[in-house]
Amino acid sequence: MRQVDVAIVGAGPTGLYAAYYAGFRGLSIALIDALPEAGGQVTAMYPEKLIYDVAGFPVIRGRDLVANLVEQAAPFDPQYMLGVRAEGLSYEDDKPVLALSDGSSLQCGAVLITGGLGSFTARPLPAADAFTGEGLVYFVPHLDDLAGHHVVIVGGGDSAFDWALSLHPVAKSVTMVHRREKFRAHAGTVTKVQALPVEIIVNAEVTQIHGDGQVEGAEVVVRGQDPRRLPADTVVAALGFTADLGPLAEWGLTLDRRHIVVDTKMATNLPRVFAAGDIAEYGGKVRLIAVGFGEAATAVNNAAIVIDPSAHLFPGHSSDNG
C-alpha cells in the first residue's frame, strides 16, 4: 500500500493549487481525478473560455490557467493519478486509506476533497438517439478542431453562448438553437453574441441529425412552422450536465444536498478529511475559482498540523523562502 502525506481528490484549479501549497509546506502529494486530464471542469467543459475574476490576471483563458497551475505545482513533483476514482474510505492506524478504482490503496496523512461538483455527465440530445457517427459533441476542448465547420449549437445557457462567442472567429458559420425565447446565459454574453453574424433560432428544437457516419446537417423545427434543415459539420449539444458525488456520498460525510459541509478550517466531520472549492459548503459560501484558492491554502495549512502536530499553522510567506 502506497503512502502519501496529502491525497487530493479532484485535479481542477482548486486541487492543483492545493498541490502547490502542500508542496510548499513540504508535504508529499497525490492528485486523484476520474478525468483523463488535469483541470477538472475547466479542461473538460470550457478550456477556451476567458476568465476575468482570477486575481492578478485581467483575463486568462481556461486552458492557460490550468497550464499555469500545473507548472506552479510541478517543482514539488505531485503524483498524478488520472482516470482513477477514489472509491472507498477507511482508516488504518487512525490514518485515512483510500480504495481506488484501479484496485490500489493509498494511505494518507490527510485527504483533501476538491472535486468541484463531483462527477458530471452531459445531458443527451434526444434527437441524436439514432445517430452513431462523428460530429456530435457535448464539449469543445479545442476550438481549432472546428475551424471551417458549419456549427450548430443547441442550448441557451452560459456554455452555449461562450462557445458561440469563441467559435465565431474560426467556424464557417455558427447557428444557435434554443427551445425558449429567454436564455439562462449571462446577459452580457448574450448581448455580445447577438451583435455577431450568428443566427439564433428560438422556440425551436433539433429533431434529427443528418449524416451517414459524419454529421451533414441538422433538422430544426420552430414551433408552429415546417421543419428546416441547417448545414452542419458539427452539432454542439450544450444542454448542461448532471452531477453527483458518486462514491463520496457513501463515505459518511455530512452533506448539504450535493455539497460537503466544512468548518472554518475546511475540515469535514470525518477525521483528517478536508474539502475545498465548489464542493465545500458553509454559511455565506461563494463559488468562485478565486475563493477555492484561498480555501485550498486554509485546508492544507490545517491538514499540515494534523499530520505533524509540531508544525506551525502558518508557515510564513512564500517570498520568505525564495
Residue 273: per-residue pLDDT = 98
Can you give the pLDDT at residue 128?
82
86 is in an annotated binding site: yes
Residue among 48, 41, 53 at smallest CA distance from 14: 41
The answer to whether the annotation marks 57 as part of a ligand binding site is no
CATH topology of domain 2-120+242-321: FAD/NAD(P)-binding domain (3.50.50)
Q: Would you tell me how many other CB atoms lie within 10 Å of the CB of residue 212? A: 9
pLDDT recorded at residue 105: 96
**Nearest in space to 301 (alpha carbons), one of 287, 314, 292:** 314
On whether 173 is known to bind a ligand per the annotation, the reply is: no
Quote the radius of gyration of the chain (alpha carbons, Å). Answer: 22
Write the pLDDT tens digit of every residue in 289-320. Answer: 999 999 999 999 999 999 999 999 988 888 77
Residues 6+ positions from 309 with CB-CB distance below 8 Å = none
For CATH 3.50.50.60, list the domain ranges present in the chain.
2-120+242-321, 124-239
CA distance 98 to 83: 15
Quick: pLDDT tens for 109-147: 999 999 866 556 677 888 888 787 889 988 787 888 999
The reply to whether 17 sits in an annotated binding site is no
What pLDDT score does 115 carry? 84
Three-point CA angle 251, 252, 257, nearest 5°: 100
Residue 5, helix vs strand vs coil: strand
Annotation-wise, does 46 bind a ligand?
yes
Given a cut of 70, the residues of the chain with pLDDT beneath it are 116-121, 242-243, 321-322
Q: What is the pLDDT of residue 175?
A: 97
pTM for the full model? 0.78
**Coil vs helix vs strand at 14:** helix
124-239 belongs to which homologous superfamily?
FAD/NAD(P)-binding domain (3.50.50.60)
| Pairs from 201-208 (Cβ < 8 Å, separation ≥ 24) | 201/175, 201/176, 201/177, 202/178, 203/179, 204/177, 204/178, 204/179, 205/127, 205/177, 205/179, 206/125, 206/127, 206/152, 206/154, 206/177, 206/235, 207/127, 208/127, 208/130
Q: What is the pLDDT of residue 116?
A: 66
Is 33 annotated as contributing to ligand binding?
yes
